[in-house]
Amino acid sequence: MKMKKKAFLVLRNNSLFIKMFLIMVISIVAVSLLITFSSIRMSSDLFMDTFSISNTKALEQIETEFEAYSFAIVSTANEVQNNGTIKRVLTQENGNAIEMSKAYHDISLQIERIYPSVESYDANMIVLGFNERLYNVNYSNWPVSWEVLRNHPITKYAINQPNRLVYQFLPSNSFNDEPMIVATKALMEWSTGEIYGVLYFPIREAQLKEFYEGYTSVENEVLLVNERGRIISSNKKELIGDDAVDVMALAKEVDDEEMEFKDVHVLDKDYMLMSQYLPTYNMYLVNLVDKSAVLDNLVNTKEILLISLGIVLLAVMVVFIISRRMTNSISRLVKQISTMAKHDFNKPVAETGGYEAKKIATAFNSMLSELQEYVDLVVQAQQKQRGAELMALQHQINPHFLYNTLASVKFMVQQGKKEKATDMIHALISLLQNALSNVDQTITVEQEITDLKNYVLINQARYGDGIKVNFFISPDCLDCQLPKLILQPFIENAFFHAFNEKKGGFVQILVSKKGDNLLCEIVDNGDGMEIKGDHTKEDIKEKRHLFSGIGIRNVHERIQLLYGEEYGVEITSEKGEGTKVKVELPFLKIEIPAI
């Protein structure tokens, strides 16, 4: 137990040295590893670049083999297409046995003359006529009947592409024991466009593989992929017939962007991919190089790692000696700082130790002092700013409102309407008492509604009752608290701006509880307006209201100053239909102490 405690104290007292030492060791190891692997990578990249150049030339040689075969197929197909005897035999009606025998003899002579062009590639040649005649040069290569071949998908595809020589893939099946690639060409009468037969050149995948087999190895694979992403030939037999859409897409990318090669992950391995497009076949010749297998014998990794290890050990010894000497004086200062209370900026550290430690302690204490002074100034400035903003928003009573109201009272007295004048004066006194009281004071919803009714009374006495005002207040909201003069600017806005075109209408004030919030709504059926963008700011022009001077935008900012950005004013309006204002506040009630 004592040994553990002693070890813990040693570690704690030398934590700075340990950290610094570990950082230096990690840095040395990291740099050494980076240099080592960078050297290996550069050697690998150089080798792969050289390897890719040689493989690119190999692909060009393979492409030459494929193009030579394609040229032989095209030449043979053209001879068959232009041969009058073959066309006559494939278009004439079936006659007697003698005529049939003569036709077979004539076409056989022609085919035997033409066939040697592709015979050297071990490719078969089949001519099919729509008059139920079939001539198969090598029946053992593809033992297929006229009925099967006439209705085969490759025949239908060739007919649908009458102007093209099409290469199609046939997997192994009951009458074809090995995969084949079949070149097909529809035989057509050029003058009428009528198709009278189809020409086939089947070649077994094993014969096609001979075009590139000499360029392949365990780590160097070659694939022939058609436009549908299917592998139709490969030096790996198990891949033939598999779908490899990802390989085809990558091959297309390499060829389109004229890249020498691309590092890819396909077929569950990391490869270097090279590609060559064969336009005649509409296929991609893909070369996949297994980088890991190629690089196994390129670099002696073990020897390089041993050298790097020796360098690291020597560097660690030097770092240990230097770090120990540098950290002794700083460790004491670190201990003092670590014992300070969290966020306690008033407690300075002792300025002791060596020259460096004293300088650091002095600078640290000076920084603490200046930081504390700055924080105090910022807090005081924010408090003053908030108080000033609230005061400015509150005390903006417009003298014109008082002048016009008193002028109306004088006019009523002169007309002998003393009771209405008295009611109007009482309403004005009540409004002024609440508007000019303490800036931070809040009032109940009931008092705010009373003030609104007084304001409505004054305006209806001055301008008539063409604008009807209705109040709908939820009883549980009457004693809820809200800032003064929050709703009054919207009533005033409705009176003086909502009914310029319409001569009358209604304004409804609704107050209810919505979850934990107090929801106040002011709805009118006046002229309405077009609103764009932020409807609490830019679209509502800031007008100095006749009573309080508090505009709609000021109300929104005041609410957010008091309660936060989740509260505020939302205005919706439609031209000719009216305006709806929603004021959302926290639902607050004054707690009455129990008796």
pLDDT digits (tens, 9 = 90+) for 579-590: 999 999 999 886
43 near 302, Cβ under 8 Å?
no
For the chain, which residues make up each domain, given as ranges?
55-295, 340-392, 395-589
Please provide the CATH number assigned to the domain covering 395-589.
3.30.565.10
Structure token pair of residue 409: 């009272």
pLDDT at position 154, please?
92
Same fold across 55-295 and 395-589: no
187 near 87, Cβ under 8 Å?
yes
d(CA 282, CA 44): 34
For the chain, give the mean pLDDT: 80
Is the pLDDT confidence value at 328 over 80? Answer: no
d(CA 146, CA 131): 10
Q: Treating both helix axes as pointing N-terminal to C-terminal, what angle do 418-435 and 445-463 enclose, rounded to 10 degrees? A: 140
Query: What values do phi and psi take at 115, rounded to 5?
Result: -60, -35
**Would strands 467-473 and 505-514 be described as parallel, antiparallel, or unpaired?**
parallel
Weakest mean pLDDT among 73-77, 140-144, 319-323, 521-525: 319-323
397 near 435, Cβ under 8 Å?
yes
Name which residue leads in pLDDT, 10 or 588: 588
What Å distances lie between residue 391 and 41, 384, 425, 451, 558, CA to CA?
Answer: 71, 10, 26, 20, 10
Rounded to a whole number of angstroms, the distance between the first and last alpha carbons of the chain is 62
d(CA 449, CA 466): 20
Residue 456: strand, helix, or coil: helix
Q: What is the pLDDT of residues 251-285, one digit of tens each?
A: 999 988 888 888 898 888 888 898 989 998 999 99
Is domain 55-295 annotated with CATH 1.10.3720.10? no
d(CA 150, CA 511): 84
Is the pLDDT confidence value at 429 over 90? Answer: no
Is the pLDDT confidence value at 593 over 80? Answer: no
pLDDT at position 355, please?
66
Q: Whole-model pTM above 0.85?
A: no
Query: What values do phi and psi take at 254, rounded to 5?
Result: -65, -45
Weakest mean pLDDT among 364-368, 481-485, 534-538: 534-538
Q: What is the pLDDT of residues 166-209, one digit of tens each?
A: 999 988 875 677 899 999 999 998 888 889 999 999 999 888 88
The DSSP code sequence of 10-76 is: HHHHTHHHHHHHHHHHHHHHHHHHHHHHHHHHHHHHHHHHHHHHHHHHHHHHHHHHHHHHHHHHHHH
